[in-house]
Amino acid sequence: MPPPPLHFNAFIWPNGYHESGWRVVPDEARGVLGLPYYAGIARTAERGLLDSVFLADNIAIPEYRVEHLPQTQFDPILVLSALAGLTERIGLIGTGSTTYSAPWDLARRFATLDHLSAGRAGWNIVTTGSPLTAANFGLTEHPSHADRYARAHEFVDVVQRVWDGWEDDAVVGDKAGAWADRSKIHAPRFHGEHYDVEGILPFPRSPQGHPVLVQAGQSPAGIALAARYAELVFSGPPSLEAAVEFRRKLHAQAIAGGRSADQLKVLPALTFTLASTEAEAKDKSQRLEDLASPEFRWQNLLYVTGHDPDDFDPDVPFPQELLDGPAPTSGGERLYAAARERRIPLRELAQDLIGGASQIPFAGTPEQLADYILAWHDAGAIDGFTLMGTTLPYELETFVDHVVPILQARGRFRTGYEGATLRDHLGLNRPAGHQTGVASRA
Ligand SMILES: Cc1cc2nc3c(=O)[nH]c(=O)nc-3n(C[C@H](O)[C@H](O)[C@H](O)COP(=O)(O)O)c2cc1C
Asked if residue 439 is part of any domain, the answer here is no
Q: How many domains does the chain have?
A: 2
Cis peptide upstream of residue 204 (ω within 30 degrees of 0):
no
Same domain, 48 and 146: yes
Range of the domain at 32: 7-282+357-426
Same domain, 298 and 161: no
Q: In a structure prediction context, what are the per-residue pLDDT tens digits for the chain, which is 442 residues long?
A: 778 899 999 999 999 999 999 999 999 999 999 999 999 999 999 999 999 999 999 999 999 999 999 999 999 999 999 999 999 999 999 999 999 999 999 999 999 999 999 999 999 999 999 999 999 999 999 999 999 999 999 999 999 999 999 999 999 999 999 999 999 999 999 999 999 999 999 999 999 999 999 999 889 999 999 999 999 999 989 899 999 999 999 999 999 999 999 999 999 999 999 999 999 999 999 999 999 998 999 999 999 999 999 999 999 999 999 999 999 998 999 999 999 999 999 999 998 787 667 788 999 999 999 999 999 999 999 999 999 999 999 999 999 999 999 999 999 999 999 999 999 999 999 999 986 544 444 3
Buried b (16+ CB within 10 A) or exposed e, 166-175: bbbebbeeee
pTM assigned to the model: 0.95
Same domain, 253 and 228: yes
In the β-sheet with 384-389, what is the strand arrangement from edge to edge?
265-266, 232-233, 212-215, 121-126, 91-97, 52-55, 7-11, 384-389, 269-274, 361-364
Interval between CA 431 and ligand 1 midpoint (Å) = 25
Identify whether the C-beta of residue 315 lies closer than 8 Å to the C-beta of residue 306: no
DSSP codes of every residue in 57-86? --S---TTHHHHS------HHHHHHHHHTT
- Nearest atom in ligand 1 to the alpha carbon of residue 128 is 11
Same domain, 257 and 317: no
**CATH number (domain holding residue 220):** 3.20.20.30
Same domain, 296 and 271: no
Name which of 422, 418, 421, 413 is nearest 5 in CA terms: 413
Asked if residue 435 is part of any domain, the answer here is no
Asked if residue 432 is part of any domain, the answer here is no
Same domain, 273 and 168: yes
Evaluated on CA atoms 52, 53, 59, 65, the torsion sign reads: positive
Asked if residue 436 is part of any domain, the answer here is no
Interval between CA 57 and ligand 1 midpoint (Å) = 9
Same domain, 57 and 189: yes
Same domain, 213 and 268: yes
Task: Decide the pairing of beta strands 91-97 and 121-126.
Answer: parallel
Same domain, 32 and 181: yes
Asked if residue 414 is part of any domain, the answer here is yes
Same domain, 264 and 320: no
Residues with CB under 6 A from ligand 1: 56-58, 95, 126-129, 216-219, 221-222, 234-236, 269, 329-331, 357, 386
Same domain, 271 and 196: yes
Same domain, 322 and 261: no
Interval between CA 56 and ligand 1 midpoint (Å) = 9
